[in-house]
Chains A and B, each alone.
Chain A
C-alpha cells in the first residue's frame, strides 16, 4: 500500500486567547479518496482544514505534522506555502456569496488563479477558464467569463469557487461545508458534481461538514471530531451501520429524518374539516410585493396565498430561499405591509385594528427569529428580555413578573441563575431557548417561528425541537413554523405548506405531504435531501444525476 496523499498526525492548534483548540487530530486521505471530517461547532474541524492549507487565523499556533505526498507542510514559510496552495492543495469554502471577489469578473479571477502559479496567460488562460467552467458544468462558459459574481446564483457561485480551486489541478481539495449555505436541490447538484470531479480527475477530497446526510452521500471514510479530538474514524458504511462511540451514536440519533418508504404513510385527512371554531390564523388570498412601486420594479414575494391554521396546530412552511415562506411568516406577525388580501389572527384583521384592540391582539402574537444572537438586545439581561413583554403591557406587579420569568426559564429548561446573564454569555441553543421563553411570556395563541433552529448544531437542534414540541403540546398555542429543512418541519408540524416563488404548490398533513408528495416539486425537494444513510446514496445517486441534467 502506497503512502497516503495527506497524512495529518497529532495536529494540535492553540490560540493566544481562549477559544476552542484542536487538541490532537490525525487524519489520512488517500489518493482519490473522499474523507469527511464531521463534528459540531467547536470540534476543530475547520481549524484542521485551515492548518492543512496554512491559513490559520492570527495568533494560532499549530504543532504536529501535516504531510502532503510525503512533504512536511507545517512550518513552511509563507512564500513556500504560497507555492503549495492552489497548486497542490486547494480549498472550497462554505459561503459562496462572499468567497468571490465582488468587483472582479469571473474570468479575471480564474486568470488570476492561473497566473499565481505561472500558468498560462492571455488567450490560453481564457481557453483554460472556459474549460474549467465547463468542467464545473456552468452553462455558456464563454459568456460567463465577463460576468461579476453578483450576477450568478448561489449554486453557480459555488461552482465558480470550485473551478478556481481546480484551476491548477491540485492533488487535494479541501471543502469546508461547501453546501451548507445552499438550497437542498442545489446542494444535491454540488455534491454530485464533487463526486464526478473526484471520479474524473482523481482528486482527493477532504470534506468538512456537520451534515450526516452529506457524509453519507459523498464520503468513503468518516472522521468524527469532538472538542478538538478524534472520537472515531471508520469507513462510511461501517460508521453508519455500527457507530462505535457514544458521541457518534448521539450525533446520528439527533439527525431529524423524513418519513421513509417503509414507515408506512399514516392516513390523515389533508384539510381537516372546518370545526366552526375561529381559526388561529387565516391567510385570505394574500399578496406581498417587494421593491418600490415608484421605481417600477415590483417583485411579488407572496402571490395569492390562502391558508388556514386551526388552534393548537402547527403549520410548517417549507420552500427554498426566495420562496416567500419567511414573508408569509412575517405577515402573520404584522411585520410586512400587505399588497392584497387579508390576514386574520384569531378572526381579527391585524391591519384593520388600532389602539387598544391592536395592542390586545399583539399580546396574543409572538415571533421567534432565526438568529438567536440578534433577536436579544445585547444590553438586556436574560431576565429583562423575558420580562419585557410584561413590562410593555404592564402586566402584574414587579414580583409577579419576576415569578413569571422564573417559571418561563424553568419551562425552557434553563437554570434560574441565567436571569442576570447577558445574551453574549449564552450559547446559541440557550439563546434560542430564551427567545422562546420570551415569546411565550404572554401566553400567546399564535407563535411564528422563522427558522428557529437553522443556526444551531444538530444535537442542539434536536433538543430545542423536542422542547418546542413539548411546550406546544402543553400550552396548546398555534404555530407557524418556517424552515428550509424538510426533516425539521416533519418532526414538529401537523400540516405543511410547500411554497415556491410566492405560491403554495402543495398543502396538507405533514406525514402525507412528506410521505406521499402529490406535487412534482415537492417530490424533487424531498429527493434532493441527502439521506443520512450510505445505502440510500447508491440507490439515489444516478437519479440525482439525471435530475440535474433536467434542471440544467
Chain B
C-alpha cells in the first residue's frame, strides 16, 4: 500500500512543480494588468507607478517567482491586490462554501446512483430500466444552466418553498435544517449530471459483474440475485466506481463555477472569476494552483482507495 502510494507521489509532485511555474508565468502573460484595474481610469501615472512598486510588480519576473515560492514555503499565500485581505482567508472562506456544496452534490449523486443502479439491476425489469435510462440520458443532456434556472423558477419563485440562492445566513453548523434548504437546489442542480453519469457507470458495472462467473457460482449456490447484487457485485464494482467518483468530483468542482454563478453561492468559482478579471495575481495563482492540487490529490486518493478496496492490490502476490 505505502509502496503503491510512494510510486505515485513523485509524478504528482512533478505535476505540481510544473504547474506552479506554468501558472505563475501564464498569469503574468495575460493581457491587462492589475494596476490599471486597481487604480481605476482616473489615476495619474505617478499613482499607478506607486501602486506598481507597492505590489512588487516592478521586479523581474524570476525574482517575483522565487519570492512567491518562498512565501508558499512559509504557507504565506500573500495578500490580494484587489479584494484586499489575506489570500489565505479569502480562499478559506470560498473553499468552505465550495466544498460543502460539492461534497453535498457528490453525496446526493452517489446515493442516487447507488439506489438507482441497484434498483435497476435487482429488479431487472424492462420498464424500470427504460425509465431509468430515459431519466438518466435526460439528466446528462440537460445543461446545468437550464436545470438551475428551472429549479429556481419552480421552487423559489412559482412555489416559494426554497431560497433562490445564497448561503445560509448563520453558516452551515448553527442551523442545519436551514442550511439544508439553502443547499438543496444548488446541490441538486450540480449533482444531476454527475449522478446520472455515476448511475450509468454503476449500472453498467453491476450488470458486467452480474455476468461474471463468480456470480454464476453464487447463483448456483442458491444465493438470491438481490443478495448477490448487494453483497458481492456492488463490492466488486466499488473500486472502479471510486475511480469514476474521483473523476466526477473533478467535474463537480468545475461545474460548481457555473452553479455558484447561478445560485450566487459565494464559493471559489466566483472568486476565481473575479480574481482573473481583476488580474489579482496572488489570488489567481493560489486558486489555480489549488485547483491543480485538488485534482492531483483526488487522483492520488482515488488510487489509494481503489487499491485499498481491491484485495488483489492491497494484499498482492499470488499464493502457492
Contacts and interface: CB of A to CB of B under 8 A. Distances in A.
Direct contact of A and B (CB under 8 A): yes
Interface in B208-260: 212-214, 216-225, 227, 231-232, 235-236, 238-239
Interface stretch (A162-170, A250-258, A389-397, A537-545): A162-170
A147 B221 contact: no
Contacts of A184: none
Contacts of B319: 147, 150-153, 156
Given A152-B320, A153-B319, A102 B223 contact: no
A102 B312 contact: yes
Interface string A86-117: 11011101010011111110000000110011
Nearest to B219: A55
B222 A168 contact: yes
The interface centre, meaning the residue of B214, B216, B219, B309 with most chain A CB atoms within 10 A of its CB, is B214
Contacts of B221: 85-86, 90, 112-113, 116, 164-165, 167-168
A89 to B, nearest CB: 8
Nearest to A164: B221
Given A93-B213, A99-B213, 17 more contacts: A82-B222, A85-B219, A85-B222, A86-B222, A91-B217, A100-B214, A102-B311, A102-B312, A103-B310, A103-B311, A103-B312, A116-B221, A148-B311, A148-B315, A150-B318, A151-B317, A164-B221
A161 interface: yes
Contacts of B239: 103
Interface of A: 53, 55, 78-79, 82-87, 89-91, 93, 95, 98-104, 112-113, 116-117, 147-148, 150-153, 156, 161, 164-165, 167-168, 295
Given A102-B312, A103-B309, A112 B320 contact: no
Contacts of A152: 318-320
A53 B232 contact: no
Contact of B220 (A91, A147, A151): A91
Contacts of A148: 311-312, 315
A90 B311 contact: no
A433 B315 CA distance: 43
Size bin of chain B's contact surface: 20 to 34
A90 B220 CA distance: 6
5 contacts: A82-B224, A99-B217, A104-B235, A151-B315, A167-B221
Contact of B223 (A91, A116, A153): A116
Interface of B: 7, 212-214, 216-225, 227, 231-232, 235-236, 238-239, 309-312, 315, 317-320
Nearest to A109: B218
B236 A153 contact: no
A116 B232 contact: no
Contacts of B238: 103
B218 A153 contact: no
A83 B222 contact: yes
A147 B312 CA distance: 11
B236 A103 contact: yes
Contacts of B225: 78
A90 B219 CA distance: 10
Interface centre among A87, A103, A148, A152 (most CB of B within 10 A): A103
Contacts of A90: 220-221
B218 to A, nearest CB: 7
B318 A103 contact: no
Contacts of A99: 213-214, 216-217
Nearest to B319: A151
A151 B320 CA distance: 7
Contact of A103 (B216, B217, B235): B235
Contacts of A147: 319
A149 to B, nearest CB: 9
Max chain A C-beta neighbours (<10 A), residue from B7, B221, B224: B221
Contacts of B312: 102-103, 148, 150
Given A95-B213, A151-B315, A112 B218 contact: yes
A82 B225 CA distance: 9
A152 B220 CA distance: 22
A78 B7 CA distance: 48
A95 B213 CA distance: 8
* 4 shortest interchain CB distances as A-B pairs: A86-B222, A153-B320, A86-B221, A85-B222
Nearest to A117: B222
B217 A164 contact: yes
B231 A112 contact: yes
Contacts of B220: 53, 55, 85-86, 89-91, 93, 165
A84 B320 CA distance: 35
Given A101-B214, A150-B312, A112 B317 contact: no
A93 B217 contact: yes
Contacts of A168: 221-222
B214 A98 contact: yes
B315 A84 contact: no
B320 A86 contact: no
Nearest to A95: B213
